[in-house]
Every structure is written in C-alpha cells, then in structure tokens.
Structure 1
Amino acid sequence: MPDQFRINTVRAFVEAIAMPFQCTSTSPRVPPLVKFGKLHVPVAQTAAIYRQPTDRTRARQGRLEGPLVAVQVRPKTKFQDEDGKPLEAMVRLDMVREIGGLLQIAQERRRSGREVRSGEGQWWTTKLRWGGGSGYDADTDIDTDGEAKATELASVAGEAASDGLVTGDLGVPDKVEKKPKIMARALPWKELRCGRGYWDPKIDYGAIGKDRSSLSDVVFMVSSLNHHISIVKLTVHDAYTDSLVAGTSLEDLPKPTLQRSQWFDLFDSQQRVQTLRGVWGVMAYLTRDSVAGAR
C-alpha cells in the first residue's frame, strides 16, 4: 500500500472517532521536536488530535486546544531477516520513534500557561546590532519614482485638455496626493521580527484530560505499522518532562512507564471494532467531564 494511502486511512479512521468528542486531527504546522536542553531532536508525527474551541469566534480563527492524542504512521515493514530472526536494531529504532513522539506530545501538553514570545530577553533582541551603528534610516524610504510618474501623468493630461484633444472629465485630481512611505523594506531595520519558534500560535496548549491532583500526565498515541494499529500509553511525571526541557539530571526522578495494547489488524472486521472501542475509550477518558479536578 502506498504510504499516503495508509496515512489517509488511519487518519480518517481516527478522526471519525474524534469528531463526536468535538475534536479534530491535523497535521503538524510547526516541526515536531523533542527538546533536551538546548538540543532539539526532530520526531515523526503524522497528525495529532486537538479539541475545537466552543467559542465560535476562536473556532473561525482556526484555533485549537490540546493536544490530546498523537497519531504516528510509519512506513517500516521489515523487522525480521530472511531466516525469520528479529532485527534487534530495527526493533529498537522503531521503539525510539514511538517514545520520541510520546515525549514530544508530553512536552506540548506541559506548555499550558507558559507561552513566551520567541527571542524575548535574548541578546539578539536587546542589544544593538550591526556593530552598534544607527543602521538604516526608515524615514528616508519614500517612493519618489511613483510620485514623479503621477505628476508627469497629470501634466500630460492637462496639456491634452487645454489643446482640445480630450473632452469631458479626465478624472485627474487637482492635487496629486503623495503615496505613503513604503515601509515594507524599512520595518526590518526599525524592529527585530523574531521567528515564531516551535510553538504554533494558533494552538492553546494544555493537558486536556489530566487530573490536576496528579503529578503525572498520561499521554496516548495511535501507532500504525503496515495495516495494523496499536494504542500506546506513556505515564510521565511532570518533573521528568520539565527536566528534559531544561536539560538537567534525571537520576532521582520517577521514570516513565510505557504500556501498549495488542496490534489490531484493520483487515479483520472484529479487530477493527476492538480498535474503535479502544480509541473511543481513550477519547472518552480525555474529554470526560470535570471529575476530581480533571480538565
């Protein structure tokens, strides 16, 4: 099966389950990365399930809340050699891809209320650039060529009217208005525009479905290989996620625990029903009503 067909099949299957819970799936709009201190490691993410805001204005703006569940469809098919023995390196590499995707979702869910502007407080936004010189003077950037052409056109039209060559209203104003200053080229010199970084500006990050009384977050992923689907669950402590982002030691922190369901065959109708029930249960758990401080 072509990769894109498999991706579309899994996404359609998962999104059909998420829609009754006022959720949708979307492809990553910024590069999905796991942060280890100053190191950013790219990870594989096919899509993620987000909750749509109840406010219509925010919904029209394309804003989303979450993420809730990650979706990872991998094209790898060979995990055994010709003799049927498992390829340990390929198996471990595939597991690393899954763990990396889970940690990336955990870090995004941990961003609730911590959004900062890109480059805020950094040296490249606070110190003078270009050797401390004054730089480019934006006030001198005026479209003189456009103004001259407009003046020339008005004078030619006036001469034609006086010679009787043209009759009627020429639509030439008595006074040629000056065009506004072109600031598009000047603004980068007047202010520093930082990139948006690795935070999607249209996503309200938050740990939806997390119990506030718990110090650990439960992260889910719909993992797919070939025509099979498995549900992966990672329980990670908040301090562990914070230490990964900060790049500090993880020795004395609770280690994450990983659990996996069986691999469900989508070609089998009975297993498709079991897969639907499993993903439905995950969505129902994460979008449950406020009970015991859950959100």
Structure 2
Amino acid sequence: MPVPVLMSNGSPFPSKERYDLLKEEILYDNDDAFRAVSRLPPLPGREKIKLTQGRKFWAGLDQVAQYWDTSLDQFFERPVVDDPPKEESEYPDKMHIDSPPVAGKQGLGVPVGKTSTSAEAKTGDTGDETSQGPHTKTMYCGRRTGTGRECPDDLREETLRGLVEMVAWAFGCQITIPSLPPRLQVKSMLFPVRQNFVVARSPQDRQAARKGILEGPMVFVQCRSETLFYDKDNPSGSRNVEICDLLREISAMLLFAQERAREGTTEMRPGDGKWWTTKPRWGGADNPGPEADKNTDKPKEPTPDTDVPSANKRSKYDRSSLPFRRHGPSGSKKLSVAERWKILQPGPSLWDKKMKYKQIGKDKDSPVDDIFMVSSINHHFSIVHIRVHSTYLEWLTGNKGNFSDPSRDSTGTPWYVLRLRRTKWFDLFNPSDRLEGLDGLWALFSWLMR
C-alpha cells in the first residue's frame, strides 16, 4: 500500500525535523527540565536547556513530581530534643500553629507524621515515633510535598494535555473540553462517564475555524484519580475494584463510538415525538402546576425606611433604565417554576454544537470503527484500543436493527464482542517510557490522519 503524501485535511505530514524536536525535549533529564520550568540556573556541569513544544508538559510533570516522584526519598533518624525551643520558652502563651512554616526546600528534613510529606513511603515506614525508640524520630528528605493520593486531579490532566498537544498540533489537530457532561446512552437511560478532553481536527474553512468548529472527534483522554486497585486482605474485593476501573474505560469508549457514529445523521432529542412532549398536561385543562402557590420568583416590594422622610427619599425604582438592566440586554424575563412546568418540549440536547461529527480514520466500507483512548492513572498512561460494530451501537441505543447479522470483522470477531487492547503502562518519570509513548501517539495520529 503506497504511503499517502498528504493527510486527510489536505496538508502534508509533519516532517522528521518536527519529530526530532519533540524527541529531544521528551528525553530531557527530569531535574534539568524542572529547573528550566522554574527558571532556575542549571546544575554545575550541566548545559542550559530550552523548552519550546514541551513546556506545558514539563510544567505539569513538575507539579505531579511533588506527589509521585519517589526517586529522592530518604528516611533517617534524628535524636529528639527534650528541651523546649527558646522561642516557645520566651512566649509560653504562643500557639503551636503560629510557628513559622517550614520552607519547602528540596533536601530539607521534616519529621514523618508531622507534615504532608510523611505519608506512605515505598520503604514501608509508618512514621510512629514510639516504634523508633524514645530518643529518635523518623525524618523525611526528598522532593515530595504530599502523597500520591493527595495529588490534585487537574495536575495529571494538565500533564497529559501537554503531552498530547505536542503531537496533535503537528498534525493540525486541537484539544477541546466537552461542552456538555459526557453521558452514555443505554436504551432510554443516560449514564455519566468521564472524558477529560478530546482531540479533533481543525477545519480547512477559515470561517468555521474562527467560530471554534472542530471535526471529529478522533481521540480522547481519561484521567482517573483512583489509586487503590488491589487489596491483599480481600482478594475478591480487589477483583471487583479492578473490574469497575475497566468498566470506566469501556463506558467512555462506547460513548466515544456513539459520538463518532453521528456523522450524516440528525439529532433525536430525548422524548422527541412522544406524547408527553406534545400533548398538554391534564388534557389541556387549567392547571398552574405543582408549586404555583409556592412561587417565590416574584420581586419583593421595597420596605419603606422610617428613619428618613419619604418626601426626601428617591425610590430606586424611579429610574427608567432600571427594568432594562434587570432583565439584561435582551429584555428576557426569568420564567417562574409554574411557567417552566407548563412548557412541553423534548429533553436537552446531547450533541456538541461546535463539533462537526466525522469518523476520521475509519474505512467508509467497514461497519467497524476503531476507538482510541489515552488512559492515565497515578503517574502512568497507556493507549487503549477497542473495535465497535455499528450493529452493537444500534443494540446499545435500543434502535431496531438486524441483530442476527452473522458478519464479522477482519479478525473474525462477531459484532456482539468487544475486544480491548492496551499498550503497556508508560511511566512519565522514565525517559525511555516517555519516548515509547510519544512514538505510539505519533503513529496513532499518522494512522488516523492518513
């Protein structure tokens, strides 16, 4: 099969020089990159590095390292000083919480169990001072300021966003956050799923690009904050936790398949055409609604001020322009509870208004769509692939279809079987794993944009 010269958007494929630049920045030493992000001088004997494409990635990884990087963890014993500090003896009434905070300087020893740096060292230390003897206490020295369980979700998301953007921009794609809460449709029910952000293709039409319209979606990223997947004390419970985490991934990928399958179709809003969205309630009889007597949306009347004479007081409602300001520039009035209850209309839309749905990368004659997801937990990520048959989507949404279809895909898998494949988990702190993950993303976008 000949290699295409142009991508599906009409632009040439990114050059090797672009890939070499990303490869060079992704292989930087962690300490050198962290110091470059913080605008600190390089270590003695090291050259100053320059971050261009990967600055956002390294800035996020620098924050994640403060919770997950255990490479510099050190635990040592320190004798306990029985005499109280001089400052406390001079001011006996001073509270302990009023003492100046310990500077978060790398390599500074702090007692385990006293600050957030103490929790869950991989060496198994518990930080109990009684177990270390009456005259010593365990101290911590390292990069972390907290445990991995305390890592904020947005730090992991920003790190993965910086990594994916390095490759997406080279192929003329952009990253966007879903404008609506992602919900998987199963028959007549909607299940919330997790999609942190999606990657879509930028349109060639300049007018559409200025409006923020994107084509796709192509790939999405899911970052999860769960840190406990195995329980040695309860093996059966560990199996359930692992299955639940797998269901989080599969449900999000099925929603992504539903979104890509919207190409060339019109939206059917929930309840569209049903009798409860067209016929008036109670046969059209006058019924103000369940909370008509409890409507509290009416504006309250101003209370007169008895201290000031009414003749010298100007009412705040005398201004002619005030009603227009209260109702906004369009003059729209907020509907009451009873008025909203009387409106008959289908449910809210589930489609993104700024997404032009296209199955980019799918063979037009194939009933199977390849769904790709970048999954991330802790400080690792992997690329997940699943193949979804169009008949499976019809069965999932409850539409009428030929469910006795014996067709199979190229691998011989029937339509009702979901086969999931996954790469290994790439460690963001390991340079070789970062490069391998970058190569996987580069190959993925090259295949989708062919």
TM tier, smaller: 0.7 to 0.9
- Aligned equivalents of 1:100 and 1:191: distance in 2? 33
Q: Does 1:277 align with 2:439?
A: yes
- Aligned equivalents of 1:91 and 1:185: distance in 2? 47
- Aligned equivalents of 1:243 and 1:197: distance in 2? 21
- In structure 2, the CA distance between the partners of 1:183 and 1:230, relative to structure 1 (3 Å rule), is closer
**Cα-to-partner distance string for 1:141-183 (whole Å, 9 max, x where unaligned):** xxxxxxxxxxxxxxxxxxxxxxxxxxxxxxxxxxxxxxxx967
Deviates more, 1:251-260 or 1:86-95: 251-260
User: Which position in structure 1 is the counterpart of 2:352?
Assistant: 200
User: Which position in structure 2 is the counterpart of 1:106?
Assistant: 257
User: Which position in structure 2 is the counterpart of 1:145?
Assistant: none
| Conservation of the 8 A alpha-carbon contact between 1:24 and 1:50 | yes
- In structure 2, the CA distance between the partners of 1:94 and 1:182, relative to structure 1 (3 Å rule), is closer
Q: Partner amino acid for 1:9?
A: T
**Cα-to-partner distance string for 1:106-148 (whole Å, 9 max, x where unaligned):** 1111111212253542334432356425999xxxxxxxxxxxx
- Aligned equivalents of 1:21 and 1:123: distance in 2? 48
Q: 1:223 Cα shift?
A: 0.4
Unaligned runs of 5+ in 1: 137-180, 289-295
- In structure 2, the CA distance between the partners of 1:257 and 1:31, relative to structure 1 (3 Å rule), is same
User: Which position in structure 2 is the counterpart of 1:175?
Assistant: none
User: Which position in structure 2 is the counterpart of 1:75?
Assistant: 225
User: Which position in structure 1 is the counterpart of 2:380?
Assistant: 228
| Conservation of the 8 A alpha-carbon contact between 1:228 and 1:265 | yes
Q: What TM-score results when the alignment is normalised by the length of structure 1?
A: 0.73
Deviates more, 1:184-193 or 1:261-270: 184-193
Paired residues in the alignment total: 244
Q: 1:44 Cα shift?
A: 1.3
User: Which position in structure 2 is the counterpart of 1:91?
Assistant: 242
Q: 1:42 Cα shift?
A: 1.0
User: Which position in structure 1 is the counterpart of 2:392?
Assistant: 240
User: Which position in structure 1 is the counterpart of 2:448?
Assistant: 286
User: Which position in structure 1 is the counterpart of 2:428?
Assistant: 266
Alignment RMSD (CA, Å): 3.0
**Cα-to-partner distance string for 1:197-221 (whole Å, 9 max, x where unaligned):** 2111221112111001211000000
After TM superposition, list the pairs within 5 Å mapping 1:18-37 onto structure 2. Answer: 18-37=168-187
Q: Partner amino acid for 1:15?
A: E
| Conservation of the 8 A alpha-carbon contact between 2:278 and 2:345 | no
- Aligned equivalents of 1:284 and 1:117: distance in 2? 34
Q: 1:98 Cα shift?
A: 0.7
After TM superposition, list the pairs within 5 Å mapping 1:160-179 onto structure 2. Answer: none
SS across alignment from 1:214: coil
Q: Does 1:4 align with 2:166?
A: no
Deviates more, 1:12-21 or 1:124-133: 124-133
Sequence identity percentage = 41
Q: What TM-score results when the alignment is normalised by the length of structure 2?
A: 0.49
| Conservation of the 8 A alpha-carbon contact between 1:233 and 1:260 | yes
Q: Partner amino acid for 1:199?
A: W
| Conservation of the 8 A alpha-carbon contact between 1:135 and 1:189 | no
- Aligned equivalents of 2:341 and 2:189: distance in 1? 30
Q: 1:265 Cα shift?
A: 0.7
Q: 1:247 Cα shift?
A: 6.3
Q: Max radius of gyration: which structure? A: 2
- Aligned equivalents of 2:234 and 2:425: distance in 1? 19
- Aligned equivalents of 1:277 and 1:204: distance in 2? 28
| Conservation of the 8 A alpha-carbon contact between 1:70 and 1:101 | no
Q: Partner amino acid for 1:227?
A: H
- Aligned equivalents of 2:353 and 2:246: distance in 1? 30
**Cα-to-partner distance string for 1:210-237 (whole Å, 9 max, x where unaligned):** 0012110000000011111100000111
